[in-house]
A and B are shown apart, each in its own frame.
Chain A
């Protein structure tokens, strides 16, 4: 029977038998539909990637005001489009490390202050020019210069000098940083001819696709770059990104077969979507987290007992169940989780109304606490605020919830008001997450957390090339933040994507949704 099935599966792949017919014949041989489907999938993978065809993606999170300049990438759609035509030096690997892209290899000086990247030879831009180390230098200059407007500026600070030696690109840092390779995976830092200084929005790069149609907020079409250097990806002939911001419309487009994959399946309906035949919902735990952030330099949050009461009053499991519908994991009042390399789990803080009430009384504060929230701080934030109000109420702590408009939330409320709901999409490494928002001098220190010991640990961990020691340092930092920080982190959300059975090749990944946005490039159309 096995032989017969293998034969049939082979015929389906060769396009001589329909999938439906295969399922029918498998059933005739006594197989359940699920088993037959699994067998089919196995056969598809064994046959390897198929070349050609069109992959259509329904993308949430993009608008008609989007620019093609990678320096201004700020949403999912923009990032996915730039991935089609451009590439970084390095990329995050599925195992939590980094893998070479335009840099063939890299090395550092023993003190982690000087980093050398060997640039891949024989790679051409889509305008025909050969990519050189000079282009890499120019790109990094554009993102780090005094007058840059790049979103990557935050991570490009602390560079003392950059230079080119033959096919090597060398960065000298002011302070050691063992994580520099991870910073080079940033989605803004795509190599452009002459760094994109001449025309940043030209969308000319070394990527697997060349943009043929650009309609911001509507649709992007990329066609295979015939000179692309890496055979292991870029299987489809054409990739079409269709911007569908409306949740219901995006799911309907997938169900009706108009697109092959979508991002951001709403957690509320993910279970229902998964039940449809021919659709696979793929959730992956990521570094993104929903947070309640308090300024610890402002009354009453500067009182450690108030902060502790607020932390014990948070029912984290309830949040995961009711806000994420189970598509997520509980947080522990630190901004990192198992998605990060070198992570050590801390003892889990549980919901404890008695302890919360104890700390609340001890604090001597008897006013109420005002929490600001809006729908776009994270999906379901107002509901989460209402749940929090109830769980705090059980401990006798009065919480007032003020709903703010979505419009202007990031400029007027977040990082300005003392207590609000917010969202962090996370970073590839712990150092970057902590340096972005928890270092005393960080631009986005949205909890106003200033702790000398924490800062020292963070700086010395950057220079520490011994992984075991670094891991311990991060665990110590996590503990400080867990106990003294203004961050209340109830949950880490999963990325929930969905694909149809017309495409194959889904794999493990770190980073963002849809295989770190590489799914259209790494997957292929099945026969």
Chain B
């Protein structure tokens, strides 16, 4: 087995162990929260009898440990169970939500990642001149403003005043791709603005770091122009930190967009998770938590592996 393959296997095993720990933590967390699902469902109109009846029907009278292992056994067999609150099949509901979240994340990434890297390269090319300063100022400003505010401003200008795109980003299966894209245009804009700065700054910093190296000077002395030097020599050598920050931001696009989903009423995972946490619907929270954790762990693993593969010293250890 090659060292790279062994590494991947190790990382995957570690990831699975982490997921197991995460599921235990989430379960413990939901148990600590005050109130239970029966109280949340009935709300202010709960009577003691109705509460007792609902708890019995939902199987909440079992000890917490038993419920956790029942769930774990089911989950290992691929059965995520049904939501306590509305009896819907969790795998099916999450499937739809997950698809939407990935759809939004995908299009945001397709625009944001190349744009960020290009802007980073541009900033290096015109280092300390006005394009660099302009790019830095704009991206830093957009990351400093809270994302919901950017969302509201864009919604007001683009949605209400100009009426270019709908202000409510509803998508459903009966829409064509074009309609869907028009529907998510505004959330994609906001997400792009939010993740742009981080990736762009990292690209700029990493390349500038490499630019101090002797071989860059050599390349320049060979007579390559500045942009060629950056693209051919500096960029490949600074891939590792860039991939790291890109992966972190991709993970954010999948699991951290709750606020944007709420602002634009987008039917994604975040909103789904928050609704069920507030109702103490443990099986759903568990399922969502596992998926989010898996996304984070998976993307970080990809980042690690890419940075190792891109570094000859790590690829061929002595």
> Chain A residues in contact with chain B, CB under 8 A?
58, 63-68, 72, 74-75, 146-151, 153-154, 201, 213, 215-219, 242-246, 248-249, 252-253, 255-259, 407-408, 410-412, 414, 443-444
The one of B40, B57, B152, B271 in contact with A64, judged by C-beta atoms closer than 8 angstroms, is B271
Q: B54 contacts A149, CB within 8 Å?
A: yes
Q: Bound state CA distance, A150 and B85, in angstroms?
A: 13
Q: Does B5 contact A (CB under 8 A)?
A: no
Additional 5 contacts, C-beta under 8 A, given A149-B57, A407-B33: A67-B85, A216-B86, A256-B163, A258-B168, A408-B35
Closest residue on chain A to residue B278 by CB atoms = A407
Q: List 18 A-B contacts (CB under 8 A).
A: A74-B42, A74-B45, A149-B42, A149-B54, A150-B50, A215-B96, A215-B172, A215-B267, A217-B271, A217-B272, A244-B265, A245-B265, A249-B168, A252-B155, A252-B168, A253-B168, A258-B168, A411-B36
* Interface bracket on B: 35 or more
Q: Bound state CA distance, A527 and B83, in angstroms?
A: 43
Residue among A58, A75, A219, A249 with the highest chain B CB neighbour number at 10 A: A249
- List residues of chain B with CB within 8 A of the CB of A256: 159-160, 163, 166-167
The one of B34, B96, B159, B275 in contact with A411, judged by C-beta atoms closer than 8 angstroms, is B34
Q: Which of B269-285 contact A (CB under 8 A)?
A: 271-272, 275-276, 278-279, 281, 284
Q: Does B262 contact A (CB under 8 A)?
A: yes
Q: Does B39 contact A (CB under 8 A)?
A: yes
- List residues of chain A with CB within 8 A of the CB of B42: 72, 74, 149, 151
Q: B267 contacts A65, CB within 8 Å?
A: no
Q: Does B219 contact A (CB under 8 A)?
A: no
- List residues of chain A with CB within 8 A of the CB of B275: 63-65, 217
Using A65-B85, A67-B87, A443-B48 as known contacts, say yes or no to A248 and B39 having CB atoms under 8 A apart.
no
Using A151-B42, A151-B45 as known contacts, say yes or no to A412 and B35 having CB atoms under 8 A apart.
yes
- List residues of chain B with CB within 8 A of the CB of A64: 93, 271-272, 275-276
Q: A74 contacts B160, CB within 8 Å?
A: no
Q: B35 contacts A63, CB within 8 Å?
A: no
Q: Bound state CA distance, A245 and B44, in angstroms?
A: 19
- List residues of chain A with CB within 8 A of the CB of B57: 149
B97 to chain A, nearest CB (A): 8
Q: A218 contacts B39, CB within 8 Å?
A: no
Residue among B45, B46, B156 with the highest chain A CB neighbour number at 10 A: B45
The one of B34, B47, B93, B267 in contact with A407, judged by C-beta atoms closer than 8 angstroms, is B34
Q: Does B205 contact A (CB under 8 A)?
A: no
- The interface residues of chain B, by DSSP majority, are classed as helix
> Chain B residues in contact with chain A, CB under 8 A?
33-36, 39-50, 53-54, 56-57, 83, 85-88, 93, 96, 152, 155-156, 159-160, 163, 166-168, 170, 172, 262-265, 267, 271-272, 275-276, 278-279, 281, 284
Q: Bound state CA distance, A32 and B166, in angstroms?
A: 32
Q: B45 contacts A408, CB within 8 Å?
A: no
Q: A249 contacts B53, CB within 8 Å?
A: no
B258 to chain A, nearest CB (A): 12
- List residues of chain B with CB within 8 A of the CB of A63: 275, 278-279
Residue among B35, B86, B284 with the highest chain A CB neighbour number at 10 A: B86
A349 to chain B, nearest CB (A): 26
Residue among A67, A217, A244, A412 with the highest chain B CB neighbour number at 10 A: A217
Using A63-B275, A217-B271, A242-B265 as known contacts, say yes or no to A408 and B166 having CB atoms under 8 A apart.
no
Closest residue on chain A to residue B83 by CB atoms = A65
Closest residue on chain B to residue A150 by CB atoms = B50
Closest residue on chain B to residue A411 by CB atoms = B35
Q: B54 contacts A410, CB within 8 Å?
A: no
Q: A255 contacts B160, CB within 8 Å?
A: yes
- List residues of chain A with CB within 8 A of the CB of B167: 249, 252-253, 255-256, 258
Q: B156 contacts A252, CB within 8 Å?
A: yes
Using A219-B170, A242-B170, A249-B167 as known contacts, say yes or no to A411 and B86 having CB atoms under 8 A apart.
no
Q: B263 contacts A248, CB within 8 Å?
A: yes
Q: Bound state CA distance, A215 and B35, in angstroms?
A: 26
Closest residue on chain B to residue A58 by CB atoms = B168
Q: B281 contacts A248, CB within 8 Å?
A: no
- List residues of chain B with CB within 8 A of the CB of A148: 49-50, 53
Q: Bound state CA distance, A246 and B39, in angstroms?
A: 24
- List residues of chain B with CB within 8 A of the CB of A246: 262-263, 265
Q: A408 contacts B272, CB within 8 Å?
A: no
A153 to chain B, nearest CB (A): 5
Q: Bound state CA distance, A258 and B86, in angstroms?
A: 28
The one of B39, B87, B159, B264 in contact with A410, judged by C-beta atoms closer than 8 angstroms, is B39
Residue among B33, B156, B167 with the highest chain A CB neighbour number at 10 A: B167
Closest residue on chain A to residue B279 by CB atoms = A65
Q: Bound state CA distance, A368 and B109, in angstroms?
A: 56
Q: B264 contacts A218, CB within 8 Å?
A: no
Q: Bound state CA distance, A146 and B265, in angstroms?
A: 40
Q: A66 contacts B85, CB within 8 Å?
A: yes
The one of A66, A218, A410 in contact with B86, judged by C-beta atoms closer than 8 angstroms, is A66
B127 to chain A, nearest CB (A): 40
Using A65-B281, A151-B42, A443-B47 as known contacts, say yes or no to A408 and B33 having CB atoms under 8 A apart.
yes
Q: Bound state CA distance, A245 and B39, in angstroms?
A: 21
Q: Bound state CA distance, A64 and B281, in angstroms?
A: 11
B82 to chain A, nearest CB (A): 11
